[in-house]
Amino acid sequence: MYYISAASTISHQPAFRNAGFSGVIEPLHAGSALINPDYKEYIEPGLLRRMSKILRMSVACSGDCLKQGGIEQPDAIVVGTGLGCLLDTEKFLNNALTVKGLLPPTSFIQSTHNTMAGQISLSLGNHGYNMTHTQNSISFENALLDAMLLIDEGEKHILVGAADEHIALLDEISAQLNIQSDCGLTSGASFFILSAEKSDQTLAGIKDAEALGLVKNIPEQITAFLDRNNVNPDDLDLILYAGSVAGTEDGEKDFQSLLKMKNLPVLDYMKYSGIYPTASAFALHMAADQMQHTRSIKNILICNSLIQHNLGLILVQSVEA
Amino acid sequence: MDDLKEELKRQLIEQLNLEEITPADIDDNTLLFSDKGLGLDSIDALELIVLLEKYHGIQVTKPEEGKEVFRSVNSMAEYIRKRQN
């Protein structure tokens, strides 16, 4: 078991520095905005002035996590991102097309996917393992697996998280691809301290995680994952899912029929987070928060099949006091 | 009032995204790369090279000049005038 010692999220929900937020969240509606903290409290002005949205969110969430966990330096920093620093990428490419002569360097330097992990490390003066995973919709699950492997190798506290940012161009592209959804494309960041040992601060445990590409049969993979962890479907208290398990539009019925449990609570977490490639990190915070505040919840499965051929699975378990 | 220096201050603020700083906050002799001044860093130095080319058509061809040229708004203005004459 791997233990979540701290969690921090910036999203459309009032999650930041708000334990118990999962009890008050509501599905996103048109015009719903990201709830940003006062970044000046978490980031030095000299660094803040050149940071894009994704960098501000990541550095603030990381700082908040470390503060909550009472940890000055994590043993490693591991970040997942599906699309990386889009604002700086767009800015740099626009400069390249329009500016004659020398190109301003800042947006180029900050356009790479590993800028978040790098900025977090710079803000902490951390010289430990620093890694960024980018595998589209299962980037967070891959980052989480990396953090779990580091703990298996003897590390104590890993800062692991995920972030993605929205730019207007994504709306244009999704309209051209005829992607329609009730909840819009957006930004979000969630970070965690994953620890080797349980403590008084532990919010929940992660029993197992899996990230699979080129998946042909999602139901088979889910069943095998549960079997491998000796969890019966009727042990599950909640499934948080994104995308479609059986190619239909009714995820709830799909899961209930797959696991042969009519009354199993099933929730589409993207209705609460909005759509971004690493929203399963939001689901993990939501799961940990629910376990912390509803003691009867013991097992939550996070099933991320936002993109049909990718599958991310995380089994979250409560930790007895 | 020296128009070039006032223009430079506005350009510095825009190019370096100096939030919450106005031209009035920057003295002509404020040290740009000192913590006692604006506290700029190496990425800002690259941005200043771009600024000189973008707004004033000047290419800094001798890197060793940079330290003195980018000392303050005064030294930048002096360098621009020297190069333009």
Going by C-beta distance under 8 Å and a sequence separation of 6 or more, which residues neighbour residue A200? none
Beta bridge mates, A80: A133, A162
List all residues of chain B from 19 to 78 with a beta carbon under 8 Å from chain A: 19-20, 39, 41, 43, 46-47, 49-50, 53-54, 59
Q: Among 3.40.47.10, 3.30.70.1290, 1.20.5.50, 3.40.50.150, what is the CATH number of A205-317?
A: 3.40.47.10
User: What pTM value is reported for the model?
Assistant: 0.92
The per-residue pLDDT for range B15-52, each reduced to its tens digit, is: 999 988 999 999 999 999 998 899 999 999 999 999 99
ipTM: 0.83
Report pLDDT for A25: 93
Q: Which of B18, B39, B50 sits opposite A104 (nearest CB)?
A: B50
Q: Say how far apart CA B53 and CA B80 lie, in whole Å.
A: 10
Structural fold of domain B3-84: 1.10.1200
Report pLDDT for B81: 94
- Are B47 and A105 a contacting pair at CB < 8 A? yes
Q: Show contacts of A70-74: CB within 8 Å, 24+ apart.
A: A70/A201, A71/A5, A71/A6, A71/A157, A71/A193, A73/A124, A73/A125, A73/A126, A73/A128, A74/A124, A74/A126, A74/A128, A74/A157, A74/A158, A74/A159, A74/A193
Report pLDDT for B19: 82
Q: pLDDT 10s per residue in chain A (321 long)?
A: 999 999 999 999 999 999 999 999 999 988 889 999 999 999 988 889 999 999 999 999 999 999 999 999 999 999 999 999 999 999 999 999 998 888 999 999 999 999 999 999 999 999 999 999 999 999 999 999 999 999 999 999 999 999 999 999 998 888 887 776 667 899 999 999 999 999 999 999 999 999 999 998 888 999 999 999 999 988 999 999 998 777 667 777 777 777 777 778 899 999 999 999 999 999 999 999 999 989 899 999 999 999 889 999 999 999 975
Q: Which of A49, A103, A109 sits opposite B17 (nearest CB)?
A: A49
Report pLDDT for A247: 66
Chain B residue with minimal CA distance to A103?
A: B50
Chain region(s) in chain A for CATH 3.40.47.10: 2-195, 205-317
The per-residue pLDDT for range B59-69, each reduced to its tens digit, is: 988 888 888 99
- Are A102 and B53 a contacting pair at CB < 8 A? yes
Q: Among 3.40.47.10, 3.30.43.10, 3.40.920.10, 3.30.470.10, what is the CATH number of A2-195?
A: 3.40.47.10
Question: At residue A235, what is the residue type?
Answer: D
Report pLDDT for A264: 81
Q: Nearest-CA distance from B53 to chain A in Å?
A: 7
A175 sits in the region (left: phi over 0; alpha: psi -120 to 50; else beta) called: alpha
